[in-house]
Chain A
Amino acid sequence: MSLLEIEKLSLSIGNTPILRDVELSVAPGEVMGLVGESGSGKSITALTVMQLLPWAARATGRVTFDGIDILAASEDQMCALRGDDIGMVFQEPMTALNPVKTIGEQVAEGIRWHTRASRADAEDHARKMLDRVGLPAAQFPLSRYPHELSGGQRQRVVIAIACALKPKLLIADEPTTALDVVLQAQILDLLRDLVAENRMGLLLISHDLAVVTEMADRITILRHGEVMEAGDTARTLSEQLHPYTRQLAQASMHVPARARTHEVGLDNPLLQGAKPLLQVDSVTRDYPGRRKSLLKRAAPIRAVDDVSFSIDPGQSVALVGRSGCGKSTLARMVLALDGPTSGTIRFRGQVITGKSEAELKPARRDMQVVFQDPYGSFDPRLKVEKLVAEPLHVLEKKPTNAERREMVAKALHEVGLSPRDMDKYPHEFSGGQRQRLSIARAIITRPKLVVADEPVSALDVSIRAQVLDLFAELNQKLGIAYVFITHDLTVARAITDAVMVMHDGKIVERGRTSEVLDHPQSEAAKALVAAAPDLHRAIARRLHEQG
């Protein structure tokens, strides 16, 4: 007997169909993984079960939870179910908690509402729940406010709220997507334990095949609102009978073909070749800290702490580390968008720290950037031509209009877009295409170095594979050196020669990519490697467990 049974669920919002004939079931104590790329309708499926849909949504079919017909249930019935029998954990921990209420109030609220417990009893219960999710009373009293907690801690509070009344079904919608890999592993462990302890059913929604494989007994693969394949996790993924399943799995494990890797300087632990392209010498960056009292000066926060390294021309280097380790701050200083508190950075032999914008022009020509968010990195008011041509601002001689169009056309061609795209606006492109635009913008001045800050982490797996291929190809063809900032080790493994691991503002380990990832030495690197979801490994483990 299933706990949750979804049969022939179709749903449309306004006139847009979102789901078609979705079938899915979760048994008590079972983990069901719901996988799909963005826009596949997986979140909407979850919201349908909770009946928290936008009001323009129309659903048909049958959704039965514990014998109750959800689609026909009244709002009062749903209120009784939500938070009591069905708990839900959301993707964005930073915004999922009410900023003006304490964590104690927020955990206790649902308890009081459903059990009519007294305030004291509810707070007692909330306290136990917070202890259980790893927020002990000493550091995390009930009187804490959400803004005093980190993202991982906030997600633990959300989990405490969802599991406080031991629901029969827990729905977790991308619960770890906003967290770094180490936090992800911790939160997944916590969810796994809670589910086992209380024999909850878990509907785990994720775009990450590796995460789902590690967690789920059975999976359902969704695409454009339709179920592609469903079944036992290990069998489905090892057999890969359905073409879409195969496509997803292959994209998740994709390694771009790189004919020639850059071996110069790799034997030297400092990665120093004869004539380095970029040289970073004992760079430190402090930010003003929070003042503890009116009288004492605040101790500064050290984001980057005495970092030195160098990169050779054409070399592809990954800078990996957990969120908040200082890797983005370091990248900004390399790009001369931020100045170090102390230390110097040389680019092609020239010091670029403490220079005026005019003096930086030659360096800026040879140094470009690709950002994470394919949506936020273009001014929506401008056409592609102006956007891609923006770095031409640093050229000695301003190109004429015709020359500029020529250059933009060439750059677009190189990233696999049509020169005709130049007269469009950025919103007319998909996420993957925008990231190509972003790369076109970065290579238009023929730079020697491109700094890419999590360039594929916002993309779906299939698109991600294509963009990684493009990066690899341009590295081969144009001899561009890369600094890849990422918390995702598969990306580092895919296209870099060397890896530097950052932790608390310091580089704690560096070396050839395969060596560091296969045999990490430092604690930080070990933690990253151990926590990184790996589809191969996950499938192997599942098969092994099942014999």
Chain B
Amino acid sequence: MTAYLLKRLAIALITLVLASMVVFAVLEIIPGDPARLMLGMNASADQVDLLRNQMGLNAPLASRYLHWAGGLLSLDFGRSYTYSVPVIDLVRERVVVSLPLALIALALSTIIAIPVGLFSAGRHGRAGDTIAMGAAQLGVAVPNFWFALMLIYLFAVWLRLVPAGGFPGWSAGVWPALKSLFLPAIALALPQAAILARVTRSALIEVLNEDYIRTARAKGLPYRAVLWRHALRNAMIPVLTILGLQFAFLLAGTIIIENVFYLPGLGRLVFQAITQRDLIVVESVVMLLVAAVIAVNLLVDLSYAVVDPRLRSRQ
């Protein structure tokens, strides 16, 4: 058990270090001179020099990387060039929008998908299953940002139930803030729920063909009880895998959805930074999101061990 945990932890850390090298290489080495890239062709040599000094670009590569990576560890991401404030302040301001959005969407999609998957697997091949999976098939095909536009059209423009976009900030009260996250969360969650429901169903159906399901039935347990007590837990492993992958997609999804709803989250920040060529902000936000993906995958690995006793005793 401990060996398994330590191994997964080590892998996560190695991946994180490698990822930071990739980000550093792509954004600080490939451009040649990041300062020139940020300031554009019209900048004077003096301006470029100033920024080079400010960014510490004159130091050797290795020490630049170490300095940057060390900064990340102490949550010192550097200063935004365009906003002239520490990047960490910008991130802190924006993450309170993006993170709740991603979490609400994840929770929503799980709450919808697992029961639908169970329902469908329980009625495998019958009308209810066909209808639910037809809907899921459609849901998988819908791009979330288009779905978002349609939701805005329906709920905000037509029915005027919720705001079409914008975010009042948590200071305006929890309810108005949540209300403005409502549509974006649905837009994110439904297509993901469709995928998850399909995976849940097929994992369950595969498990239901196993010999031990027959053993459980031979004990006299009714089908429902077998589904809940024996099949679901075994089917959790592929479901967890997909949940982990989905978190990465959800994070990416939030970036786009924030632009549809004009939410001041990390996604908006990163797009503004790209237009303004503020590499320092891009670098920090990308690194943050990558770290989040790695952390979630680690969490998924650990939850495997909770679900499957074979992993606990294996080395």
Contact A99 B212 (CB under 8 A): yes
| Interchain CB contact (< 8 A) of A100 among B220, B222, B308 | B308
Give A290 Cβ to nearest chain B Cβ, in Å: 7
Q: What is the bound-complex CA distance between A546 and B308, given in angstroms?
A: 52
Q: Which of B211, B219, B315 contacts A290 (CB 8 A)?
A: B315
In the complex, B173 has a CB within 8 A of chain A: no
Whether A82 contacts B309 in the complex (CB less than 8 A), given A92-B211, A96-B211, A98-B212, comes out as: no
The CA of A97 and the CA of B309, in the complex, are separated in Å by 13
Given A98-B230, A99-B310, A100-B309, answer yes or no on A80-B211 (Cβ-Cβ < 8 Å).
Answer: no
B211 touches A79 (CB 8 A): no
Give the contacting residue for A79; candidates B2, B222, B310, B315; CB below 8 A.
Answer: B222
**Contact (Cβ within 8 A) B212 A145:** no
> A95 contacts B313, CB within 8 Å?
no
Interface centre among B211, B218, B307 (most CB of A within 10 A): B218
- Contact check, B214 vs A294: say whether CB atoms are below 8 A apart: no
Interface size on B, residues (CB 8 A): 27
Q: A83-98 vs B: 1/0 string, CB under 8 Å? A: 1100110101001111
- In the complex, the chain A residue whose C-beta lies closest to that of B3 is A294
Q: Is the CB of A291 within 8 A of B3?
A: yes
B233 interface residue (CB < 8 Å to A): yes
Using Cβ atoms and an 8 Å threshold, which residues of chain A touch B310?
A: 99, 145, 147
Most buried by A among B212, B220, B223: B220
Does A242 touch B at the CB level, under 8 Å? Answer: no
Q: Say if the beta carbon of B46 comes within 8 Å of chain A.
A: no
Whether a CB of chain A sits under 8 angstroms from the CB of B234 is yes
A79 touching B215 in the complex, CB below 8 Å, given contacts A99-B308, A100-B234, A147-B313? no
**Count of inter-chain pairs, beta carbons less than 8 A:** 85
Residue of B223, B307, B308, B315 touching A291 (CB-CB under 8 A): B315
* A-facing residues in B245-295 (Cβ within 8 Å): none
CB contact under 8 A between A110 and B217, given known A90-B211, A95-B211, A291-B3: no
- Does A270 make an interface contact (CB < 8 A)? no
Q: Is A109 an interface residue (CB 8 A)?
A: yes
Q: Is the CB of B220 within 8 A of A80?
A: yes
Tell me, yes or no, whether A360 is within 8 Å of chain B by CB. Answer: no
**A300 to nearest B CB, angstroms?**
14
Q: Are B210 and A79 in contact, with the CB atoms below 8 A? A: no
Q: Given the interface contacts A90-B211, A98-B234, does A113 sit within 8 Å of B315 by beta carbon?
A: no
CA–CA, A99 to B212, complex, Å? 8
- A82 touching B220 by the CB < 8 A rule? yes
Q: Are A88 and B218 in contact (CB-based, < 8 A)? A: yes
In the complex, residue of chain B having the shortest beta-carbon distance to the beta carbon of A105: B229
Q: Are A99 and B220 in contact (CB under 8 A)?
A: no
Which residues of chain B have C-beta atoms less than 8 A from A88's C-beta? 218
Q: Does A162 contact B (CB under 8 A)?
A: yes
User: Is A75 an interface residue, CB under 8 A from the partner?
Assistant: yes
Give the most central of A52, A79, A291, A294: most B CB within 10 Å. Answer: A79
How many whole Å from A122's CB to the nearest CB in chain B? 12
Of the residues A83, A106, A145, A291, contact of B220 by C-beta under 8 Å: A83
Q: How far is the CB of B225 from chain A (nearest CB, A)?
A: 8
Please determine whether B215 and A161 come into contact, CB atoms closer than 8 angstroms.
yes
A383 to B39, CA, bound (A): 66
Which residue on A lies nearest to B2, using beta carbons? A294
A residues near B2, Cβ cutoff 8 Å: 294
B220 engages A113 (CB within 8 Å): yes
Q: Which of A273-301 contact B (CB under 8 A)?
A: 290-291, 294
A90 touching B214, Cβ below 8 Å: yes
B216 adjacent to chain A (CB < 8 Å): yes
Q: Is chain A's interface secondary structure helix, strand, loop, or mixed overall?
A: mixed
Does A498 count as interface, using CB distance less than 8 angstroms?
no
Check B218–A162 contact: CB distance below 8 A.
Answer: yes
- Quick check: B221 and A145 within 8 Å, CB to CB? no
Asked whether A352 is an interface residue with its Cβ less than 8 Å from the other chain, the reply is no
Known A-B contacts A92-B211, A113-B221, A291-B3; A98 and B216 likewise in contact (beta carbons under 8 Å): yes
Chain B residues in 8 Å Cβ range of A83:
218-221
Partner of A76 from the list B214, B215, B217, B222 (CB cut-off 8 Å) is B222
A190 to B198 Cα, complex, angstroms: 45
* Whole-angstrom distance between the Cβ of A87 and the nearest chain B Cβ: 7
**Residues of A with C-beta under 8 A to B210:** 95
Tell whether A50 is near chain B: CB-to-CB under 8 Å: yes
Query: Quick check: A110 and B234 within 8 Å, CB to CB?
Result: no
A537 interfacial contact with B, CB 8 Å: no
A44-84 at interface with B (beta carbon < 8 Å):
50, 52, 75-76, 79-84
B214 touches A97 (CB 8 A): no
* Interface flag for A158 (CB, 8 Å): yes
In the complex, the chain B residue whose C-beta lies closest to that of A56 is B125
Residue pair B315, A96 in contact (C-beta under 8 Å): no
> Given the interface contacts A100-B307, A145-B309, does A109 sit within 8 Å of B211 by beta carbon?
no
CB distance from B191 to the nearest CB of A (A): 30
Separation of A88 and B217 alpha carbons in the complex (Å): 10
Encode contact with A along B147-160: 1 for CB under 8 Å, 0 otherwise. 00000000000000
Chain A residues lying within 8 Å of B233, measured Cβ to Cβ, are 100-101
CA distance A291 to B6 in the complex (A): 14
B218 proximity list for chain A (CB < 8 A): 50, 52, 82-83, 87-88, 90, 162
The reply to whether the CB of A424 lies closer than 8 angstroms to some CB of chain B is: no
Closest chain A CB from B283 CB (angstroms): 37
Query: Residues of B contacting A114 with CB < 8 Å?
Result: 220
Residue in B2, B219, B234, B313 whose Cβ sees the most chain A Cβ within 10 Å: B219
What is the CA–CA distance of A113 and B219 in the complex, to the nearest angstrom? 9
Among B6, B214, B230, contact of A52 (Cβ-Cβ < 8 Å) = B214
Provide the residues of chain A in CB contact with B221, threshold 8 Å: 79, 83, 109-110, 113
Using Cβ atoms and an 8 Å threshold, which residues of chain A touch B230?
98, 101
Residue of A nearest to B6 (CB): A294
Q: In the complex, what distance in Å separates the CA atom of A114 from the CA atom of B220?
A: 8
Question: Are B219 and A99 closer than 8 Å at their CB atoms?
Answer: no
| Chain B CB within 8 A of A148 CB | yes
Residues from chain A with Cβ under 8 Å of B6 in the complex:
294
Q: Which of A52, A88, A100, A110 has the most CB of B within 10 A?
A: A100
CB distance A75 to B222 under 8 Å? yes
B315 neighbours in A (Cβ, 8 Å): 290-291
- Type the 1/0 row for B200-218, where 1 means its CB is closer than 8 Å to any CB of A: 0000000000111011111
Task: Give the docked Cα–Cα distance between A114 and B211 (Å).
Answer: 21
Are A90 and B217 in contact (CB-based, < 8 A)? Answer: no
Across the interface, A90 reaches (CB within 8 A) one of B215, B223, B313, namely: B215
Please give the distance in Å from B293's CB to the nearest CB on chain A: 27
Contact indicator per residue, chain A 327-352, by CB within 8 Å of chain B (1) or not (0) = 00000000000000000000000000
CA distance A99 to B215 in the complex (A): 12
Alpha-carbon distance A124/B294, docked complex (angstroms): 45
Which chain A residues lie closer than 8 Å to B308 at the CB level? 99-100
- Chain B residues with CB below 8 A from A80, complex form: 220
User: Do residues B212 and A97 form an inter-chain contact, with CB atoms below 8 A?
Assistant: yes
Binary A-proximity of B294-315 (CB < 8 A = 1, otherwise 0): 0000000000000111100101
Which chain B residues border A82 with CB–CB below 8 Å? 217-220
Residues of B within 8 A of A (CB): 2-3, 6, 210-212, 214-223, 225, 229-230, 233-234, 307-310, 313, 315
A residues at B contact (CB < 8 Å): 50, 52, 75-76, 79-84, 87-88, 90, 92, 95-101, 106, 109-110, 113-114, 145, 147-148, 158, 161-162, 290-291, 294
Top 6 A-B residue pairs of the complex, sorted by shortest distance between their CB atoms: A83-B220, A110-B219, A83-B219, A82-B220, A95-B211, A88-B218
10 A-B contacts, Cβ less than 8 Å apart?
A75-B222, A79-B222, A83-B220, A92-B211, A95-B210, A96-B211, A100-B234, A109-B229, A110-B220, A113-B225
- Other A-B pairs beyond A80-B220, A109-B216, A113-B219, 11, CB < 8 Å: A50-B217, A52-B214, A75-B223, A79-B222, A82-B217, A90-B215, A97-B212, A98-B212, A99-B310, A145-B313, A291-B315
